[in-house]
Structures are given as structure tokens and as C-alpha cells.
Amino acid sequence: MKNLSFWILLTSLGFLFSCEEEETLFEGPYHVRFTEMEGSVLENYNYPFTENQNLATRVSVHLVGPQMSDNTEITFEMLGDAKEGEDYILIEPESQKLVIPPNESFAYLYFVPLNNQERDGDREILFNITGVNNGLEKGRGLNGIIGKTMRYTLQDDDCLADLRKMNGLWEAEETVENDTTVEARTHEFQVDVDFDFNNRIRITNFAGIEGASIFANLDLCSKQVFIPEQAVSGGSENLGNVRSLRHGTFDEESGILRITYNLDRLGSVNWVLVATIQEE
């Protein structure tokens, strides 16, 4: 009886392993679908602390099945409460038709989110496949619901802030980070808001150096400020580059600005700047 049980166990294990090694080939129905079913992007640019504004966003469609010997043409429509020309621009393809070339599996559409500088909430684009040739289906599952539609959310980044209150003369106190032996220094600098560059400010006489000029980017929603890596302009000597070590903070209502930065001209020391705007 023990021998019989042993052989039954071996037979069962052999059947299990043979099932695990068996390859399953997709036999259809062959179809095209959006690779991802949802995504999101800030309406203005992909990351609020870069200079690259209004980057093109790519959406991919792919063929599920064997590659074709001729073009696979896919038509699509754009639905949702986001309006083309106001909230985004479709830049490729110019018409609402995608083409997967012969012996390939992917096609791509590109759109650019637009900054309308209005606090109007999130908007959605619904990319919906409306037709395809070569006997392929649109999406998969009951009524082709899987992959037939791609939902893209344009996140509103226009938080309310009166940046005019940041224009003017600021008084700064700077200390060396994690070093209380270095005496704090004070100086004044000028802030001018550049409304043409997505909430950017220009700081003149930065670090108390006459004529030294840099820019910093503001995230109005999180009330953060960041100095991207850049060469310091102006000044009577080569000051090298400056950069933030982490995101700082600002409050235009109370007139306070905090940044931790490193400037080549000042060596490897990290400076903590706390500034308040001067009343007119």
C-alpha cells in the first residue's frame, strides 16, 4: 500500500511539473489596444522645477498578435472635458489616424498640455479607438472594453498666489548649514517676478554679491522654491555655478523665503538663506 501511494505521489508531481512547463500561445482574437489605460500630467509641464516647459506627452498603441505585412491603420477620437486648443494640442499625428508599419507592433501619438493660467480644476482626455483594418479588433474582452480607451488626466497646476507681492527688496540672513561657529551674515537682494516663464523669479545681488543674478522656479501649489543648476550671471568676477540642495519654501503673503544653496565661488559650504521682504 505504501508503494502504491508513493507511485501515485510521483505521478501527480510529474503531471504538475509538466503543466508548469507547457507553453500557452495567444491564439486571438488579435487586436490593437492602448498600452496603458490611464495616465496623468501637469497641465503646464512634467516637473515643476525644470526649464523644459510644455514637453510632448507620448501615448502608445500596440498590436496584440502577429506582426502584419502591410500597414495597420488605427483611427481614434478624443473625448472628455479637456478641449483641444485650450487644454492641449495634438501634435502627432496631424489627423486622428495612427499607422503601425509592416513588421512592427507599436504606433505613438503625441500631445502637449497647455497652461491656461486659470484655476479650473483637472481635465480629462479620453482617447478612444474607433476603427482598425487588417481584420483586427478594437481592444479586448466583452465589447472590446480592455485597452480600447485611454484616459489621460491633465492636472491643474494653477494654484492661487499673488506673486506681485514678491516683487521688491528683500533682507536676508545667511548661516552655514550645521555649523554654528561661522558668524551669520546679512545682505539685501532684489526679486523680480518673470510671469512669462511659468512662475519664475529673478534674484539680483544674490548672496550679497553686487550684480550677481540668478533665477529660481516656484511651485505655487506646494509653496516650494528651487534653484536649478546654472551659471551665475553678472558680477565683477567669475562666480561659477549655483544650485539648491533641496526644495526651499516661500510664502508671498507673509513675505518669507527660505533656500539652502551652494555657490562655487563660496566653496563647498552650504548656506541657509532666510529672507523677508522689506515694506515699501
Q: Residue 50's domain is classified under what CATH number? A: 2.60.40.2030
Best-predicted range by mean pLDDT among 70-79, 187-196, 216-225?
70-79
Residue range(s) defining the domain that contains residue 204: 163-277
pLDDT, tens only, 105-161: 999 999 988 876 666 778 899 999 999 999 999 988 766 678 999 999 887 766 667
Q: Do 170 and 278 meet the contact criterion of CB atoms below 8 Å apart? A: yes
Q: Please report whether residue 268 resides in a domain.
A: yes
Q: Do 75 and 129 meet the contact criterion of CB atoms below 8 Å apart? A: yes
pLDDT of residue 94: 83
Q: Do 35 and 144 belong together in one domain? A: yes
* HSE of 228, CA atoms in CB hemisphere, 13 A: 12
**In this structure, which amino acid lies at residue 62?**
H
pLDDT classification of 245: cutoffs 50, 70, 90: confident
Q: Do 61 and 104 meet the contact criterion of CB atoms below 8 Å apart? A: no
pLDDT of residue 8: 45
Alpha-carbon Rg for the chain, nearest whole angstrom, is 29
The rounded distance, in Å, linking the Cα atoms of 83 and 118 is: 14
Tell me the mean pLDDT in the region 156-178.
Answer: 86
Q: Do 37 and 151 meet the contact criterion of CB atoms below 8 Å apart? A: yes
pLDDT of residue 87: 86
The rounded distance, in Å, linking the Cα atoms of 105 and 115 is: 33
Burial call 16-54: b when 16+ CB within 10 Å, e when fewer: eeeeeeeeeeeeeebbbbbeeeeeebbbbbeebbeeeeb
* HSE of 220, CA atoms in CB hemisphere, 13 A: 21
Q: Residue 228's domain is classified under what CATH number? A: 2.40.128.120
**Which residues, other chains included, contact 158 with Cβ-Cβ below 8 Å and sequence gap of 6+?**
43, 44, 115, 116, 117, 118, 119, 120, 220
pLDDT, tens only, 9-56: 445 444 444 444 455 567 779 999 999 988 888 776 444 444 445 678
Comparing 98 with 121, the larger pLDDT belongs to: 98
Q: Do 242 and 254 meet the contact criterion of CB atoms below 8 Å apart? A: no
What is the separation, in whole angstroms, between the first and last Cα of the chain? 100
Quick check: 267 pLDDT over 50? yes
Tell me which long-range contacts 12-15 makes (C-beta under 8 A, separation of at least 24). Answer: none
> Exposure of 204 by Cβ count < 10 A (0-12 exposed, 13-18 middle, 19+ buried)?
middle
Instruction: Report the percentage of the chain scoring pLDDT > 70.
Output: 81
Q: Do 128 and 171 belong together in one domain? A: no
Q: Domain boundary residue among 105, 130, 155?
A: 155
Tell me the mean pLDDT in the region 251-275.
Answer: 92
pLDDT classification of 254: cutoffs 50, 70, 90: very high
Q: Do 150 and 209 belong together in one domain? A: no
Quick check: 196 pLDDT over 90? no
Q: Do 42 and 133 belong together in one domain? A: yes
Tell me the mean pLDDT in the region 222-251.
Answer: 89
Q: Do 64 and 38 belong together in one domain? A: yes
Q: Do 110 and 198 belong together in one domain? A: no
Q: Please report whether residue 20 resides in a domain.
A: no
pLDDT of residue 145: 74
Return mean pLDDT, the chain. Answer: 84
Q: Is the peptide bond before 113 cis (omega within 30 degrees of 0)?
A: no
Q: Domain boundary residue among 110, 137, 155?
A: 155
pLDDT classification of 194: cutoffs 50, 70, 90: confident
Q: Do 175 and 112 belong together in one domain? A: no
